[in-house]
Amino acid sequence: MGYIEFEKVLGKHISIAEEIIGTDFENKLFEKSYYYIANESIKKGFCGMSYNMLTIMTNEKDTVQSITVHFQKVIDRQFYDSIVEKYGKPDNIQIIENRQLESESVTEDDEGQVIQTLRKSTFSLKEGSFEERPLYIIWKKESFEVKAFLRHEQNISEITFSLK
């Protein structure tokens, strides 16, 4: 799978982003800030993982401020090694500690089936390693930042490229 250098789109007009990202994407929802691939059989690749959804945030002049790539699974070691090869060692790897459940509520349908569980938790973050199931991995570059957000419980992750 190919590698798109999303950081090169930051600060450019949205039309440049469309040229670089490709014509497989549509943006019929939320005007120009939310792009997705209409055909589920088409997959794009980034550092060895496939994705089919992007969120592109622009300013009032349609200049790209951030691009978020959404993955259907948690970033794995192969992805991590690949992105470290491209951007170097991360500046921060933040793991959760001292997680405490504050409250929990369960919503059931008329037949008693659970349809939603809401939990409110508090936690703190500390520096850690990739092996400790991080919540965030952050690379701070001269003009942009790369931030990976790993949601292990939901088995999804996203990586955001943004201007500093």
Query: In this predicted structure, what is the pLDDT of residue 22?
Result: 64
Q: Which residues pair with 149 in a beta bridge?
A: 136, 158
Query: In this predicted structure, what is the pLDDT of residue 1?
Result: 41
Token readout for 26 is 């549509």
pLDDT digits (tens, 9 = 90+) for 89-147: 999 999 999 989 899 999 999 998 989 988 898 999 999 999 999 999 999 999 999 99
The residue length of the chain stands at 164
Could you identify the residue written with the tokens 């939901």?
Answer: 154
Query: In this predicted structure, what is the pLDDT of residue 20?
Result: 75
Query: In this predicted structure, what is the pLDDT of residue 34?
Result: 62
Torsion (CA) 157, 81, 88, 13 in degrees, nearest 10: -40
Query: In this predicted structure, what is the pLDDT of residue 131?
Result: 96
How many angstroms separate the CA atoms of 125 and 118, rounded?
A: 22
Q: Model pTM?
A: 0.80
pLDDT digits (tens, 9 = 90+) for 31-86: 656 666 655 655 677 888 888 677 888 888 878 899 888 898 999 999 999 999 99
Query: In this predicted structure, what is the pLDDT of residue 160?
Result: 96
Q: Which residues pair with 122 in a beta bridge?
A: 100
Query: In this predicted structure, what is the pLDDT of residue 27?
Result: 60
How many angstroms separate the CA atoms of 66 and 93, rounded?
A: 21
Closest CA to 134 of 61, 86, 83: 83
**Is the pLDDT at 156 greater than 80, yes or no?**
yes
State whether the Cα torsion 69-81-129-131 is positive or negative: positive
Q: How far is CA 37 from the centre of its chain?
A: 16
Cα distance between the two ends of the chain: 28
Helix, strand, coil share (%) of the chain residues, nearest 5: 15, 50, 35
